[in-house]
Amino acid sequence: MQRKTVVITGGNRGIGLSITEAFINAGYFVIVGARHEMGLSSRFGDQVSFISADVRDEAAHRRLVDVAVKKTGTLNVYINNAGFSEWRPIEKIDEKFFDDLIGTNLKGAFWGCKAASSAMQDGGCIINISSIAGKRGSANNSAYCASKFGVNGLTQALAKEVGPRGIRVNALCPVLIPTDGLIDALKSPFSPAKGDPEGFISKFIADNAALKRLPTGEEVAAMGLFLASESASAMTGQCINVDCGVFPQ
């Protein structure tokens, strides 16, 4: 089988790092775009190419796509994973905060979709890492929820637009995964954890998760690999929960 190429934004840590590892292990050429290298090359050697990229910048996505095509001759999969969460009540949201959060989570995924879909051939696959927060609102989370509802809308609309060219576009919607980014965000007094991430997570699991645990980055990555595979060839425009049964009421 011919080796495939994947671009992963934010593939240097957190959920993105789990995705990077899974795609390396599945034999893909992996290209990671993020602002910091975080020891990727010492860990994975030439199995991964790191490109310095700020996802808020459209040109950065074009560079990632160009590198993929120049290095490997093709772009099969593009994963818009880069993003962050920060809880704030609406009266504390100013233009800088709004632009940074929407610029990273929504505009970042948008430019990634644009660059990837322009370079992809029949069989191409775009995966957006969205969130359960893209399906339901929660207090002090208006900007983040708006960004992730936007990502789900982008996913559905683009699936319709590029489907006739044989390109599939799907989103994964994880619930809380205790990455460094999430734990930092939960330390905020405005977050539902009110400064006690561990206590909040335990209670959240007991009250909300059907499986009485939270998903892992590896489980998100496994769903990503499935979506990128031929087994998912009929799936497009889907926003799939990876949430251990939190979403159903």
What residues are labeled active site? Answer: 144
Q: Which is nearer to ligand NDP, 165 or 203 (CB)?
A: 203
Closest distance to ligand NDP from the beta carbon of 122 (Å): 28
**Coil, helix or strand for 16?**
helix
The residue behind tokens 């929504």 is 106
Q: Which is nearer to ligand NDP, 56 or 74 (CB)?
A: 56
Contact by Cβ (8 Å): 20, 218: no
Closest distance to ligand NDP from the beta carbon of 110 (Å): 13
Closest distance to ligand NDP from the beta carbon of 80 (Å): 8
Q: Please, how many CA atoms are within 13 Å of residue 71, restricted to the half-sphere of its CB?
A: 23
Strand ranges, E, within the chain: 5-9, 29-34, 48-52, 77-80, 125-129, 168-174, 239-242
Side chain identity at 159, as an amino acid letter?
A: A
Contact by Cβ (8 Å): 67, 31: yes
Cα–Cα distance measured from residue 4 to residue 28, given in angstroms and rounded to the nearest whole number: 5
Closest distance to ligand NDP from the beta carbon of 162 (Å): 21
Binding residues for ligand NDP (CB under 6 A): 9-10, 12-16, 34-36, 53-56, 81-85, 104-105, 129, 131, 174, 176-177, 179-182
Residue 177 sits at the vertex; the CA angle it makes with 7 and 157, to the nearest 5 degrees, is: 50
Strand pairing partners for 128?
80, 171
Using Cβ positions, the residue closest to ligand NDP within the complex turns out to be 181
Q: Which is nearer to ligand NDP, 103 or 166 (CB)?
A: 103
Q: Which is nearer to ligand NDP, 125 or 219 (CB)?
A: 219
